[in-house]
């Protein structure tokens, strides 16, 4: 095995729904994209933060900025955010295996994107429809 290889991270929206359901002790079928964390699932800000920490632990490439934590209100927002971060992680892993310099460039680009998202609000990172 190549010592430079980094693990690939797969994305599965149902895995996120299952994590949410397990955390709340509810049926995963109740966790749809339109479900609001505060209004429908009755999560306060500390509960939501704890849930996001669990997701960060499960998906190693995902880190939630302060802006993201404030802007993620429904399950669909969370799924899109994790999906984007997983895709960036996969791109980084593939680039690193090919040429470490490309990975460094991609990482710098990702950091700049995150900085822009923090400055402009998480809607930029999630897309214009969010």
Active-site residues: which are they?
44
**Is 123 in contact with 77 (CB distance < 8 Å)?**
no
Distance CA 63, CA 85 (A): 8
DSSP for 16-54, written as a single string: HHHHHHHHHTS-GGG--TT-BTTTTT---HHHHHHHHHH
């Amino acid at each position: 095995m190549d010592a430079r290889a980094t693990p690939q991270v797969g994305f599965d929206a149902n895995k996120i729904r299952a994590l949410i359901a397990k955390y709340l002790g509810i049926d995963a079928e109740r966790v749809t994209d339109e479900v609001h964390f505060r209004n429908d699932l009755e999560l306060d800000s500390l509960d939501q933060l704890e849930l996001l920490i669990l997701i960060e632990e499960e998906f190693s490439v995902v880190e939630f900025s302060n802006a993201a934590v404030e802007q993620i209100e429904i399950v669909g927002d969370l799924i899109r955010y994790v999906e984007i971060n997983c895709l960036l992680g996969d791109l980084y892993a593939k680039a690193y295996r090919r040429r470490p310099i490309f990975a460094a460039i991609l990482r710098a680009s990702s950091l700049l994107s995150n900085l822009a998202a923090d400055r402009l609000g998480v809607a930029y990172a999630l897309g214009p429809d969010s």
